[in-house]
Amino acid sequence: MELTSFPRLHVERTLALIKPDAIHKSEEIEDIVLRKGFSILQKRKIQLTPEQCSDFYAEHYGKLNFPSLTAYMSSGPIIALTLARYNAIAYWKSIIGPAKATEWPIDSLRGKYGTSDLQNAVHGSESFCAATREIKYMFPNTLIEPFPTKEEPEEYLSRYVKQTLLQGLTELCKQKPRNPCVWLADWLIKNNPNGPQIFDGAVEEAK
């Protein structure tokens, strides 16, 4: 019997914004967020000033649409959400759709709720660094602790669990007990390599 590899876990955080033009559809959008497997870790309704919008979109400074962008994003309240799931950044970007309105899939969030390149309903972080910065900007009093990288769970399981579990599963297949889960749990407790070692017979004293 061969135990191959454990599934890779790569839980990420990303920032989602429901923009002023879609604020009236916020409940529908949040329902979609949850149905797509995201956890909403933080939520905040806020109206940004033009200066705050300029800070948030600082990387767009100098572009032709920068004044329109800051004016639009400060024109009404928005809802900021910190989302978490496996591969959250890329998956959220795929759900909301691309930047250009002419390229929006009809079933994307921007395709459903957006009306133009500017009034595109929702925002998503472009990268891990952008997500970290944007979450801290929208939720400045929250301590962001990193999730494990995708290598860390696999390394942990390989070091502390895999070999013992493999032996237990092999013995389980040989024994074929009536209640395999209880049998395996008992076997793991008895054969825990990190548990106290019991030696039979007399212990020789040091001379």
Residues identified as active-site: 123
Helix, strand, or coil (residue 84): strand
* Nearest residue to 102 (alpha-carbon basis) of 90, 88, 85, 116: 116
Find the farthest-apart pair of alpha carbons in the chain and give their distance in angstroms, rounded: 87
Which tokens sit at 98?
A: 């691309």
Backbone angles phi, psi at 73, to 5 degrees: -70, -15
Q: Evaluate whether 91 touches 36 at the Cβ level (below 8 Å).
A: yes
Task: Please answer whether residues 1 and 173 qualify as being in contact, where contact means their C-beta atoms are separated by less than 8 angstroms.
Answer: yes
Q: Is 113 helix (H, G, I), strand (E, B) or coil?
A: helix
Report residue 116 as tokens. Answer: 């133009």
Dihedral angle at the C-alpha atoms of 27, 32, 36, 40, nearest 10 degrees? -10
Q: Smallest Cα–Cα separation from 95: which of 31, 48, 184?
A: 31
Element of type H or E holding 16: strand 11-18
